[in-house]
Amino acid sequence: KLPPGSMGLPLLGETLQFFSPNTSMDISPFIKDRMKRYGPVFKTNLVGRPVIVSTDPELNHFVFQQEGRLFQSWYPDTFTEIFGKQNVGSMHGFMYKYLKSLVLKLFGTESLKETLIHEVESSAWRSLHSWSQFSSIELKEATATMIFDLTAKKLISYESSNSSENLRESFMAFILGLISFPIDIPGTAYHKCLQGRKKAMEMLKSMLIKRRNNNSDTKQCGDFFDFVIEELKKERTVLTETIALDLMFVLLFASFETTSLALTLAVKFLHDHPRALEELKDEHEKIIRKREDLSSGITWQEYKSMNFTFQIINETVRLANIVPGIFRKALKDIQVNGYTIPAGWGVMVCPPAVHLNPEMYKDPLTFNPWRWKNKSELCGGTKSFMAFGGGMRFCVGTEFTKLQMAVFLHCLVTKYRWRTIKGGNIVRTPGLRFPDGYHIKLHKRE
Ligand code: HEM
């Protein structure tokens, strides 16, 4: 017995409804309508695949916990096309663990504590200083560039100012079409997305080849390419050049697009909620007042003490729902709530339906960072909070994102003020976007 629901048109299924734009913070009208009609678990068809959508916290939790046993990470073919067949999201078993450990070497707590915290802080100060010279900046674009430059430097020692080709531009084309309807003909957003990926991959490949040729034993740049080159030299390695390049691409993408959306939204929320901004300023001014050596940067201890900042971050990512669907595949027939999820079917866990459920969050559409006070959720995924996923595949960049947001907010509120010039509207298709940007004027504080 299948869950209730409609499979839509032949081939197309309900893909068009799924991708139709929504200009509110709320759950998409498509999901809302199906929940009302069929309940929390329903079947549909997205881009040619039968999918069970789960808005049920218990089932979501079960799906995450059963990774590798009853369910497996799976993204529709179009995503695989976009992220490469060797992307970390579709890896399993040993290879997956190996790649995850590589990623954590770079973005795990040790690295954050030792180096990244300082690099993130310098990059935030530098960016804020340069933005304050302009009569207005578009914050989404500006933060994306800031984060991209930092990550690209860490991963591949890429500096846009020293390069004839602009890697970020290829990523821009890629992102514009990322969550778009998947028709690959010239002129469509999806086509541009694939072209953007192709170009970026060609650039990454030629950089890697150049480095491998130059890197005859001695020269090390201290970046992720060093790891990769060392690994590729080993006789019995599981890493291949294709896997390494796909991983590089995913990391570059995952790190700057998500965090810049979250940061832009956080700044907008703070602008619209002066009481939250005041409390945030107090927290950070206190940190500075307590600091003995005013010339030193943020310490790990200070970072860990930013409780209200973490409340702001959690509330922002709860409302942002940057990842509107987390995909899995059923490995066998699975019985849940009196229904069968057939083997081979997709399952889409729907975080917005949980994050905006009034039974879980009072007045769910209200920005209320205080609701996170003393909540243990601040560190991981739970039945009511899955902005970074859950279970074994919990986002490996969570700590890095939080660090970047917290450090940036620290620099922003202690030294700067800003006013909105224009924009700030959002649209979901279903990925979050700022269609007309968020333009602000930054001033250095007196
Ligand atoms: C606001 C920022 C971010 C959000 C909301 C976010 C969200 C997520 C979610 C929901 C997943 C789980 C996907 C799944 O279970 O299929 C995930 C996985 C992942 N994230 Fe993030 N992420 C963010 C930032 C980052 C950053 C900064 C990085 C890069 C360092 C990153 C790298 C990854 C990778 C590599 C995976 C795949 C892990 C796996 O399949 O096990 N993310 N992210």
Q: Is the CB of 393 under 6 A from ligand 1?
A: yes
Residue nearest to atom 8 of ligand 1 (CA): 388
Q: What is the pLDDT of residue 219?
A: 58
Q: Is residue 214 very low, low, confident or very high in pLDDT (cuts 50, 70, 90)?
A: confident
Domains and CATH numbers, the chain: 1-85+323-355 (3.30.43.20), 94-321+362-444 (1.10.630.10)
* Res 445 pLDDT > 70: yes
- Give residue 216's pLDDT: 59
Contact 340, 2 (CB under 8 A): yes
pLDDT at 83: 59
- Which pLDDT value is given to residue 334? 97
Question: What value does the mean pLDDT take over residues 184-193?
Answer: 82
Say what the pLDDT of residue 252 is: 85
Indicate if the pLDDT at residue 217 is higher than 60. no
Q: How far is CA 94 from the centre of its chain?
A: 24
Residue 157 clears pLDDT 90, i.e. is over it: no
- Distance (Å, rounded) from C-alpha 54 to C-alpha 71? 13
Q: What is the pLDDT of residues 164-179, one digit of tens each?
A: 667 888 877 777 666 6
Q: Which amino acid is at 91?
A: M
The per-residue pLDDT for 279 is: 98
Residue 273 has pLDDT above 70, yes or no: yes
Residue among 150, 152, 322 at smallest CA distance from 248: 152
Ligand 1 atom closest to the Cα of residue 255 is 27
Say if residue 412's pLDDT is above 80: yes
On the question of pLDDT at 182 being above 90, the answer is no
Indicate if the pLDDT at residue 183 is higher than 90.
Answer: no
- Which residues make beta-bridge pairs with 43? 5, 52
CB of 88 within 6 A of ligand 1: the answer is: yes
Q: Is the pLDDT of residue 394 over 70?
A: yes
Residue 87 has pLDDT above 80, yes or no: no
pLDDT at 323 > cutoff 70: yes
Number of neighbours of residue 222 by Cβ within 10 angstroms: 9
265 touches ligand 1 (CB under 6 Å): no
pLDDT at 171: 79
**Residue 395 counted as an annotated binding residue:** yes
Q: Which mutation among 259, 267, 395, 401 tests ligand 1's pocket best, with the greatest number of atoms within 8 A of CB? A: 395
Q: Who has greater pLDDT, 295 or 38?
A: 38
Distance (Å) of CA 112 to CA 102, 254, 287, 329, 401:
14, 17, 19, 33, 10
Q: What is the mean pLDDT of the chain?
A: 88
Identify the bridge partners of residue 351 per DSSP, sorted by sequence position.
Answer: none
Distance 397 CA to ligand 1 centre (A): 6
What pLDDT sits at residue 380? 62
Q: How far apart are CA 438 and CA 426, in angstroms?
A: 9
3-state secondary structure the chain: CCCCECCCECCCECHHHHHCCECCCCCCHHHHHHHHHHCCEEEEEECCEEEEEECCHHHHHHHHHCECCCEEECCCHHHHHHHCCCCHHHCCHHHHHHHHHHHHHHHCHHHHHHHHHHHHHHHHHHHHHHHCCCCCEEHHHHHHHHHHHHHHHHHHCCCHHHCCCCHHHHHHHHHHCCCCCCCCCCCCHHHHHHHHHHHHHHHHHHHHHHHHHHCCCCCCCCCHHHHHHHHHHCCCCCCCHHHHHHHHHHHHHHHHHHHHHHHHHHHHHHHHCHHHHHHHHHHHHHHHHHCCCCCCCCCHHHHHCCHHHHHHHHHHHHHHCCCCCEEEEECCCEEECCEEECCCCEEEECHHHHHCCCCCCCCCCCCCHHHHCCCHHHHCCCCCCCCCCCHHHCCCCHHHHHHHHHHHHHHHHHHEEEEEEEECCCEECCCEECCCCEEEEEEECC
pTM (2 d.p.): 0.93
Are 57 and 384 in contact by the 8 Å Cβ rule? The answer is yes
Q: For 119, list phi and psi in degrees, rounded to 5.
A: -65, -40
CA torsion angle for 320, 401, 83, 341 (degrees, to 10)?
-60
Among 205-209, 274-278, 374-378, which is the least confidently predicted range? Answer: 374-378
Where residue 423 falls among pLDDT bands split at 50, 70, 90?
Answer: very high
- pLDDT of 308 higher than 80: yes
ipTM greater than cut 0.90: yes
pLDDT band at 93 (very low <50, low <70, confident <90, very high): low
Does residue 148 contact residue 121 with C-beta atoms inside 8 Å? no
- The pLDDT value given to residue 96: 74
**Average pLDDT of the segment spanning 416-445:** 94
B/e letters for 254-283, b = 16+ CB within 10 Å, e = fewer, are bbbbbbbbbbbbbbbbbbebeebbebbbeb
Q: Is 155 in the pocket of ligand 1 (CB under 6 A)?
A: no
Q: Is the pLDDT of residue 78 over 70?
A: no
CB contact at 8 A, 401 and 290:
no
Contact by Cβ (8 Å): 380, 55: no
- Whether 417 has a pLDDT exceeding 60, the answer reads yes
Closest CA to 348 of 75, 34, 130, 70: 75
pLDDT above 90 coverage of the chain, percent: 56
Ligand 1 in reach of 321 Cβ (< 6 A): no
Tokens of 56: 């049920």
CA–CA dist 75, 396 (Å, integer): 18
The verdict on the CB of residue 28 being under 6 Å from ligand 1 is: no
Q: Give the tens place of pLDDT for each residue, 55-72.
A: 999 999 999 999 989 998
| Residues belonging to the chain | 446
CA distances from residue 181 to 72, 241, 430 in whole angstroms, order as listed: 24, 30, 11
Share of the chain above pLDDT 70, in %: 90
Q: For residue 117, give the nearest of 376, 378, 296, 315 by alpha carbon.
A: 296
